[in-house]
């Protein structure tokens, strides 16, 4: 179920008591994107409820005191507990729905995967700097690409299509939202923001394979669409209703 | 091993886990607590975080502590990030008992609670590190963020956050509670007994824990360390003052 438009104002949506997980999200939020990917990769049914983050409805705070997205309401647990924090939600889904495993089985490899997920934060920070900077021409793009180097090296070392092996795993999905948005940068952030095909040959190949992945395709938005949203956000008028 | 300057220490090749730390780092203390709680044999190597030795990057690529090198495994890999290390060690060393809940929901809720401690840490940081110009609302934000934990203890209704016995939430947030009393010495500031009655009771209880006692540095040392930072380079050696 994908609701076609975000809910604003005070209307609390009425849902059937159907035991299906509820994901509170925002269509353009990359952190929420992570949870969509894992739910879809594991084929876990869910209702998506998109929240207007600038004018959060009061009913949302009643349901989730932190008011954050992503938030996952566990409707089959007593008290309908709400989980927040994208990585914690995704780790929970991994434990609860093990049929499509996304982490390696080996505890050491799993820990190393989590470290790589954590390290991607460097790229995320640089990405937002480029995105939100009033004059991107002033920035040193090397800072942006520096955060990607270890992932190119990792793909080389693993010699598999995806970080997760022959199909995407948790690392692939946790970093994908920003990799998908990378295509948006050239639309309004200027030149020089393309991945060097020599330096990032494997990452570019990986990106093309990810674009074919079922879970990625379900939620995919193209560069131009992401750029339009990002521009609206940069101008202080985030357009959640865009689609 | 306390390593002066940039000399790479001669580390014994004995298959014993290596724990890289800085004596006063609260994140690093989280790992120390795990090692103590599980009685995991380890060599401790102290790293100068200001003048980071070049060789340290071979173990921890960004030069961070804590880091734990698993010397008994092929390739002798090193893990970083205190919470990732905690999950790994808890799983690999289940004795005497597991610290993380096994139930996926309870585990997620404990992780969320640990994550909710982050605003406590960021609010108190300028106060506890003796920043000469802390933000005007630092104290207010610190206390508001702590309210969450006072309330949660009430909700859970157990002596420890993790239940009847000490567990992962208690250990992961403990390092800062060990340091808060230093503010009485440096800032004449203490936690309000009325507002934080349950938390203070919890703190006294946790202070009696074996692993906590083993890894503790006393309040005076914490205060001295923070003061040392205000006059120049942090004096890490203060940690070894009381060791012959």
Cα dist. A178→A54, A100, A114, B207 in Å? 22, 23, 17, 43
Name the residue facing A77 among B77, B80, B105 (closest C-beta). Answer: B105
Indicate the pairing of strand A82-84 with strand A71-73: antiparallel
Distance CA B141, CA B161 (A): 22
Question: Average pLDDT of A59-85?
Answer: 92
Question: pLDDT digit string (tens) for A135-172?
Answer: 877 777 787 888 899 999 999 999 999 999 999 999 99
Contact call for A115 and B81, based on CB within 8 A: yes
Regarding predicted confidence, which is higher, A77 or B7?
A77
Distance CA B148, CA A159 (A): 46
Name the residue facing B79 among A81, A91, A111 (closest C-beta). Answer: A111
Predicted confidence band of residue A113 (pLDDT cuts 50, 70, 90): very high
Question: Average pLDDT of B63-88?
Answer: 96
Give the model's pLDDT for residue A10. Answer: 58
Give the model's pLDDT for residue A5. Answer: 45
Please check whether residue B107 is in contact with residue A88, taking contact to mean a CB–CB distance below 8 angstroms. Answer: no
Predicted confidence band of residue A73 (pLDDT cuts 50, 70, 90): very high
Angle made by CA atoms B173, B179, B180, in degrees to the nearest 5: 90
By C-alpha distance, which of B34, B1, B3 is closest to B174? B34
Name the residue facing A115 among B73, B80, B109 (closest C-beta). Answer: B80
Which active-site residues of A does the annotation give? 29
Give the model's pLDDT for residue B194. Answer: 96
Please check whether residue B136 is in contact with residue B182, taking contact to mean a CB–CB distance below 8 angstroms. Answer: no
Overall size of chain A counted in residues:
243
Residue B17, φ and ψ in degrees, nearest 5:
-55, 140
Give the model's pLDDT for residue A8. Answer: 52
Flag whether pLDDT at B37 surpasses 80: yes
| Residues of chain B neighbouring A88 (CB-CB closer than 8 A) | 108, 111-112, 115
In angstroms, what separates the C-alpha of A48 from chain B's closest C-alpha?
Answer: 21
Flag whether pLDDT at B55 surpasses 70: yes
Please check whether residue B161 is in contact with residue B152, taking contact to mean a CB–CB distance below 8 angstroms. Answer: yes
Mean residue pLDDT across chain B: 92
Residue percentage of chain A with pLDDT more than 70: 95
Contact call for B88 and A81, based on CB within 8 A: no
| Residues of chain A neighbouring B91 (CB-CB closer than 8 A) | 107
CB neighbours of A79 closer than 8 A, spacing ≥ 6?
Answer: none
Indicate the pairing of strand B42-46 with strand B78-80: unpaired
In angstroms, what separates the C-alpha of B91 from chain A's closest C-alpha?
Answer: 8
By C-alpha distance, which of A213, A240, A151, A223 is closest to A180? A223
Regarding predicted confidence, which is higher, A79 or A132?
A79
Q: How is residue A32 annotated by DSSP?
A: H
Which ranges of chain A would DSSP assign to H, the alpha helix?
30-41, 58-63, 86-96, 107-119, 121-132, 141-146, 149-158, 170-188, 201-210, 214-219, 223-234
Predicted confidence band of residue B26 (pLDDT cuts 50, 70, 90): very high
| CB contact A84 to B (< 8 Å) | yes
Give the model's pLDDT for residue A1. Answer: 44
Tokens encoding B15: 């298959």
Name the residue facing B79 among A84, A88, A115 (closest C-beta). Answer: A115
Question: Average pLDDT of A41-58?
Answer: 93
Question: pLDDT digit string (tens) for B102-141?
Answer: 999 999 999 999 999 999 999 999 999 889 899 999 999 9
By C-alpha distance, which of B142, B152, B222 is closest to B183? B222
Flag whether pLDDT at A130 surpasses 70: yes
Contact call for B112 and A83, based on CB within 8 A: yes
**Disruptive mutation site among B90, B112, B147, B148 for chain A (greatest number of A CBs within 10 Å):** B112
**Disruptive mutation site among A115, A147, A154 for chain B (greatest number of B CBs within 10 Å):** A115
């Amino acid at each position: 179920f994908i609701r076609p438009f975000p809910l604003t104002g005070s209307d609390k949506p009425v849902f059937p008591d159907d035991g299906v997980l509820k994901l509170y999200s925002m269509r353009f939020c990359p952190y929420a994107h992570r949870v969509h990917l894992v739910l879809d990769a594991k084929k876990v049914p869910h209702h998506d409820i998109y929240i207007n983050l600038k004018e959060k409805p009061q009913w949302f705070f009643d349901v989730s005191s932190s008011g954050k997205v992503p938030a996952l309401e566990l409707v089959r647990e007593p008290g309908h507990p709400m989980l927040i924090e994208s990585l914690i939600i995704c780790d929970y889904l991994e434990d609860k729905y093990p049929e499509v495993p996304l982490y390696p089985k080996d505890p050491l490899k799993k820990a190393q995967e989590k470290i790589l997920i954590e390290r991607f934060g460097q790229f995320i920070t640089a990405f937002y700097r480029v995105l939100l900077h009033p004059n991107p021409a002033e920035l040193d793009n090397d800072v942006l690409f520096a955060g990607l180097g270890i992932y190119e090296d990792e793909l080389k070392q693993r010699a598999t299509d995806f970080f997760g092996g022959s199909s995407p795993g948790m690392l692939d999905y946790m970093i994908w939202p920003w990799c998908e948005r990378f295509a948006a940068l050239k639309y309004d952030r200027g030149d020089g923001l393309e991945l060097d095909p020599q330096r990032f040959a494997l990452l570019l190949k990986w990106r093309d394979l990810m674009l074919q992945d079922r879970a990625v395709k379900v939620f995919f938005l193209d560069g131009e669409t992401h750029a339009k949203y990002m521009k609206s956000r940069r101008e202080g008028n985030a357009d959640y209703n865009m689609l | 091993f306390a390593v002066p300057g940039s000399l790479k220490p001669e580390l014994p090749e004995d298959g014993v886990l290596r724990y890289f730390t800085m004596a006063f780092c609260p994140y690093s203390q989280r790992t120390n607590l795990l090692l103590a709680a599980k009685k995991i044999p380890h060599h401790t190597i102290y790293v100068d975080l200001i003048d980071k030795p070049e060789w340290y990057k071979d173990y921890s690529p960004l030069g961070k502590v804590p880091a734990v090198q698993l010397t008994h495994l092929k390739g002798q890999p090193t893990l970083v990030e205190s919470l990732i290390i905690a999950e790994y060690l808890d799983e690999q060393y289940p004795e005497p008992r597991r610290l993380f809940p096994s139930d996926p929901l309870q585990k997620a809720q404990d992780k969320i609670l640990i994550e909710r401690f982050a605003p406590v840490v960021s609010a108190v940081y300028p106060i506890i590190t003796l920043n000469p110009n802390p933000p005007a609302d630092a104290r207010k934000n610190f206390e508001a963020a702590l309210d969450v934990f006072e309330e949660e203890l009430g909700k859970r209704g157990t002596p420890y956050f993790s239940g009847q016995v000490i567990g992962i939430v208690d250990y992961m947030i403990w390092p800062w509670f060990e340091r808060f009393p230093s503010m009485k010495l440096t800032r004449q500031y203490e936690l309000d007994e009325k507002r934080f009655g349950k938390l203070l009771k919890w703190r006294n209880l946790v202070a009696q824990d074996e692993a906590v006692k083993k890894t503790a540095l006393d309040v005076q040392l914490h205060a001295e360390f923070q003061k040392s930072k205000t006059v120049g380079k942090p004096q890490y050696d203060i940690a070894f003052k009381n060791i012959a």
